[in-house]
Amino acid sequence: MEDAHDLISRMHQASYHENQPVSAEKQEKPFPQYLDNVSNESGLIFLPDCSGFIPQHNDLLDVIIKRRSLRRYDESVEMSLEELSYLLKYTQGVREIDEKRSLTIRFVPSAGSRHPFETFVLVQRVAGLTQGLYRYIAQRHALEVFDLAFEAIQKAHESVYKQKQVITSAVTFFWAANVYRTSWRYSTRAYRYMNLDAGHVCQNLYLCAESIDYGVCAIAAFDDHLTNQLFNLDEVKRFMVYAASVGKKIPQA
């Protein structure tokens, strides 16, 4: 049996430029869908405009210095819808749609501006929202109900091995990769780029959350099969990459 280093090396070398299959772009295959589809237009929950939102802490250096991963949250505090809007906008919100080139410009970098991620949120304590799973429609800055059943919340907890920070969070973000958005141009190199992109997104979440006295804990330990099943992902063209819990910081004594 190969050890971890051998497996990692083989996977890494498969994405070397000289080992890549010809990209779909060069084969003139169909252009990827670059905007999220909307299942029910009339059912969208439009988020508040947060363009004028000013966080309590807006000194960038101070926010960077104070940023930590936090696993304990104040469960008595409900996140406001404006705060959730702020976090969603600056992690995966759309700044501009370039229809000529069929791509989006967002608030995080992404290889070739492919932005392969779909954002799902487990809502547990947000003012005005029923507990459950939602999907963020970035180009509309709106939420789409995904599953409000209590069983779906339980499955979300189980999919991350019932980590306490998810169970006690106000919101937990789940980021799923739509692989073809990136692989269309970059072939197998896309696997590297998607993971780099995920880091950019999560770091913005950390910094934005810190600016409003919320804590974040990035999560890569999840049951791939359960998580993919929960969000109806096929594990080939779409699969879960990253997650992060968010909750209000516990006041210091």
- Domain ranges, residue 124: 44-248
pLDDT for 252 equals 78
User: Mean per-residue pLDDT for 98-126?
Assistant: 96
Instruction: Write the pLDDT tens digit of every residue in 121-160.
Output: 999 999 999 999 999 999 999 999 999 999 999 999 999 9
Question: Between helices 81-92 and 190-211, what is the axis angle to 10°?
Answer: 150
- Indicate whether 166 pLDDT > 70: yes
Mean pLDDT of the chain: 96
Is residue 153 in a domain? Answer: yes
Question: What letter represents residue 197's amino acid?
Answer: D
Is residue 152 in a domain? Answer: yes
Which of 200, 157, 25 minimizes the C-alpha distance to 102?
A: 25
DSSP tag of 79: B
Total tally of structural domains belonging to the chain:
1
User: Mean per-residue pLDDT for 229-253?
Assistant: 94
pLDDT for 40 equals 84
CATH of the domain at 135: 3.40.109.10
pLDDT for 1 equals 65
Is residue 65 in a domain? Answer: yes
**Could you give the CA distance from residue 16 to residue 54 in angstroms, rounded to a whole number?**
44
Three-state DSSP class for residue 13: helix
Is residue 197 in a domain? Answer: yes
Is residue 230 in a domain? Answer: yes
Instruction: Write the pLDDT tens digit of every residue in 6-27.
Output: 999 998 998 999 999 999 999 9
Which of 140, 204, 135 minimizes the C-alpha distance to 175?
A: 135
**Could you give the CA distance from residue 105 to residue 164 in angstroms, rounded to a whole number?**
35
Is residue 24 in a domain? Answer: no
Is residue 208 in a domain? Answer: yes
Is residue 5 in a domain? Answer: no
